[in-house]
Amino acid sequence: MAQTPQDHHASGHGLAFRAVETVGQIVDMVIQKAVGTVVFVGGATNLAGQTLRCIFQAIFNKDRRLGGDHLLAQMVRVGIRSIPIIALVQVFIGMILALQMAPTLESYGQLQRVADVVGIAMFRELGPLLSGIVLSGFAGASIAAELGTMVEGEEVKALRAIALSPIRFLVVPRFLATVIMLTMLTVIADVVGVLGGMFTATTVLGIASEQYLSATRAALTQQDFISGLAKAAVFGVMISLIACHEGLNVRGGAEGVGRATTNTVVKSIVALITTDVLFTSVFYAFGI
């Protein structure tokens, strides 16, 4: 049946209305995401302030000492148990870098420079970044799930009921353990990554191990090492704060715990990469 001009006019109005409605929904979604991001950043910043205050109180007030046993247990859980997976990832990354860069360097007659590339990339960039990403999934998700379960089990509420600070007893040990252990894990990652590159260089590329190590030592500077450790410390702060914030704000039972765990990993990875871009830009601007 043929459509009349009135039908075409009405159809055009309907399409325009749906287009406006769709645009309105997109704008609402963007606004909600922006507001949610601001609220999350504000909550994490507030948590950081409370955590630092508890740490300073523990340093200068003997009555508010942190439990050394609890901190040690968190360091073992967060750091020691992460060593195998981080070492495995980094040794493979070192091997991949050496294999990927070899053809290009060989075309310029600089095959021995593969040691420079692997060493600088590991110490300045891949060591702290990949260690942080692995730790966000290995330890960050665990922290969020553990705290979320305690919230749902009303254990956090019980601490507040007896005038004990959840920040001091739950957040601070996890915060310190993550920062300290990620810094140490980065040192291990750097060494293992270089060894992975050396294994490829000696077995595939025909470079002597002494020549590889000598080139690595000549290429690396103290700034490379320190800049990587600075990144690792900041990454540890971010992972711990995001995990603790998500865990302490769990709502909705088991589903909420699962959502907090997923959000911790996703937000941590985005935050780490974003922060790494800022670090790299600043280091490049100042020639560090």
Task: Output the pLDDT for position 5.
Answer: 53
| Residue 39 pLDDT | 79
Residues 146 and 38 occupy one common structural domain: no
pLDDT of 8 above 60: no
Classified as helix, coil or strand, 74 is: helix
Q: Please enumerate in sequence order all residues whose Cβ is within 8 A of that of 110, keeping only pairs 6 or more positions apart, or say none.
A: none
Residue 7 has pLDDT above 60, yes or no: no
Asked which of 39, 65, 91 is the last residue of a domain, the reply is 65
- Tokens 């997923």 found at: 262
Per-residue pLDDT, 120: 92
pLDDT value, residue 154: 80
Query: Are residue 44 and residue 83 in the same domain, yes or no?
Result: no
Q: Is the pLDDT of residue 20 over 90?
A: no
Using CA atoms, how far apart are residues 182 and 22, in angstroms rounded to an integer? Answer: 45
Residues 61 and 165 in one domain: no
**Statement to judge: residues 138 and 180 lie in one domain:** yes
Cα separation, 196 vs 255, in Å, equals: 41
Say whether both 73 and 56 belong to one domain.
Answer: no
Q: What is the pLDDT of residue 67?
A: 65
187 and 127 belong to one structural domain:
yes
Non-local (6+) Cβ contacts of 74 within 8 A are: 173, 174, 176, 177
**One-letter-per-residue 3-state SS of 9-24:** HHHHHHHHHHHHHHHH
Same domain, 113 and 229: yes
Q: Are residues 21 and 133 in the same domain?
A: no
* Residue 15 in this model has a pLDDT that exceeds 70: no
Q: How far is C-alpha 278 from the geometric centre of its chain's CA atoms?
A: 14
pLDDT computed for residue 74 by the predictor: 87
Asked if pLDDT for residue 12 goes beyond 70, the answer is no
Tokens of 275: 């922060």
163 shares a domain with 77: yes
Angle between helix axes 222-248 and 141-152 (nearest 10 degrees) is 20
Last residue within a domain, chosen from 65, 83, 101: 65
CA–CA separation, 13 and 151 (whole Å): 51
Claim to verify: residue 245 and residue 186 sit in the same structural domain = yes
One domain for residues 44 and 86: no
197 shares a domain with 218:
yes
Domains contained in the chain, number:
2
Of 1-5, 101-105, 118-122, 145-149, least confident by mean pLDDT is 1-5
Range of the domain at 107: 67-285
pLDDT category of residue 62 using cuts at 50, 70 and 90: low
Spatial CB neighbours of 93, under 8 Å, sequence gap ≥ 6: 122, 126, 130, 193, 196
Tell me the torsion sign for CA atoms 185, 194, 286, 101.
negative
Examine the fold and report which residue of 48, 65, 82 is the final residue of a domain before the chain moves on. Answer: 65
Kindly report the pTM of this predicted structure. 0.85
